[in-house]
A = this chain, B = another copy of it.
Amino acid sequence: MAKAITPRSVDYSEWYNDLVIRSGLADYSAVRGCMIIKPLGYALWENMRAVLDRMFKETGHVNAYFPLFIPKSFLSREAQHVEGFAKECAVVTHHRLKLAEDGSGVVVDPDAKLEEELIVRPTSETIIWHTYRDWIQSYRDLPLLINQWANVVRWEMRTRPFLRTAEFLWQEGHTAHATREEAIAEAERMLDVYARFAEEYMAMPVVRGVKTPSERFAGAEETYCIEALMQDGKALQAGTSHFLGQNFAKAFDVTFLDQHNQRQYVWATSWGVSTRLVGALVMTHSDDDGLVLPPRLAPLQVAIVTIPTVEEPQMTVARELAEQLQRIGISVTVDTDETKRAGFKFAEYELRGVPVRIAIGKRDVEADTVEIARRDTKEKATVPRAAAVEHVRGLLDEIQQNLLRRARQFVADNTHTVETFEEFQRVLDERGGFVLAHWDGTAETEARIKELTKATIRCIPLDGAPQEGRCILTGKPSSRRVLFARAY
């Protein structure tokens, strides 16, 4: 067996890295900062993508595909956007290689220099709004509700599988509207879609909020976000939805004739989630033995192991049961590998996060029972064979609910309300988690708190009630608490 997984209590960060590699979610690649998404990790992403894609289509969106490359000059068109994205990115400068004269392989052909450099898209607002200029003429062309599934590249200095990689997979919605109100409603609707997906499918509770001005997306008037809490008490931004105002419409001159024949600038939103969600899922539920995957997203829901593998009576029961489970839409495998022992197989399925494991031994066949183990609590039950299908169906639902319940309890236990800066620091250092505290609303105080504690304002929660108070750092008046945390 390969290197064991570092326990969370020893080093949470190492635990995560070990788990991602050992479980077969991803692998490191020969290209700096880029990972390989292995079949298990990709199947998980495919399941996430399928659910999200359905949710996007149900809310009226269609998919399209825009070029990977963005002309360099496009990035400078929107003043804030250039500050945010014209930094660490992959720049294409040439379009040809040639054989080296010394026979040492290939070299870049200096004669094939591009007139204007191309940037590998870090996000697609600029190329899309350049296009929308041609697509939008009249109010009848609005709203334009487009989503794109794509790869993007941001040249990150410090990378970790799924959480922060130079290349990642994501979706980016880019919508155009006739009014400010409609665009804001769209940005909020998509935040709701993300929050519902996180809770109902990932079993990951999230706090919905808006970012402070200094944490906004480059070019946005308002950035909505969902924030999740990982097991080590650090926050993770799981999705963002931006109200872009008329910034991109003005930068790319996108106007429409309204119903009164007046020319107006278009209002915009953009919103995205990425393969980062795979990392969030891992860090929300998994344990020292491996992945714990919610049944609604798990690529494989049930694994059946016969003991010993080769005995025909056990195998007959296993095959029959598998067929019955498949018939009601449950994904299941019967393990037929004769070269490995049951104990080894159990550990492998635990490592890979399969929600339910069924074992069938000689005595089970005699007693007409099966042994059913759940991954989340490790509990086992011996169940009459005739009741097995219903038991598994119910158990998958119960695991899905239990994961959400457990994660909600964790967030509740690790969300602290503090009144003073001293308390703030002590909670962060001793317990971590979300910290609700008053803030005076200035960028200076926000920066100073970050400098002193490494904690950032994750969001101004949308469901927080206004409450008078005093800023923990400056003592100045504050009208509501904001959510602080150290974050990924």
Contacts and interface: CB of A to CB of B under 8 A. Distances in A.
A479 interface: no
B69 A105 contact: no
A348 to B, nearest CB: 14
A131 B35 CA distance: 11
A89 B97 contact: yes
A146 interface: yes
A134 interface: yes
Contacts of A27: 131, 134
A66 B41 CA distance: 12
A213 interface: no
Contacts of A30: 67, 71, 74, 127, 130-131
A92 B92 contact: yes
A339 to B, nearest CB: 7
Nearest to A91: B94
Contacts of A155: 95-96
Nearest to A157: B95
Interface in A137-187: 140, 146, 150-151, 153, 155, 167, 169
Interface string A401-435: 00000000000000000000000000000000000
A99 B30 CA distance: 31
A119 B86 CA distance: 21
Contacts of A39: 62-64, 146
Contact of A91 (B65, B75, B95): B95
A38 interface: yes
B92 A75 contact: no
Contacts of A35: 67
Interface string A45-68: 010000000000000001111111
A72 B106 contact: yes
B117 A108 contact: yes
Nearest to A127: B30
Q: Give the number of copies in the complex.
A: 2
A466 B46 CA distance: 46
Interface residues of A, number: 63
A445 interface: no
B119 A120 contact: no
Residue of A30, A34, A117, A151 most packed against chain B (CB within 10 A): A30
Interface string A342-366: 0000000000000000000000000
Given A93-B93, A95-B91, A96-B88, A42 B63 contact: yes
A155 B89 CA distance: 20
A334 interface: no
Nearest to A150: B151
A64 B87 contact: no
Given A43-B62, A62-B43, A95-B90, A69 B31 contact: yes
B87 A90 contact: no
A119 B94 contact: no
Interface in A112-140: 117-120, 127, 130-131, 134, 140
Contact of A29 (B86, B91, B99, B131): B131
Given A30-B74, A31-B127, A92-B120, 8 more contacts: A29-B66, A30-B71, A34-B67, A37-B65, A39-B64, A68-B167, A76-B105, A89-B97
Q: Lowest 7 A-B CB distances belong to which pairs?
A: A76-B105, A34-B67, A39-B62, A37-B65, A91-B94, A95-B155, A86-B106
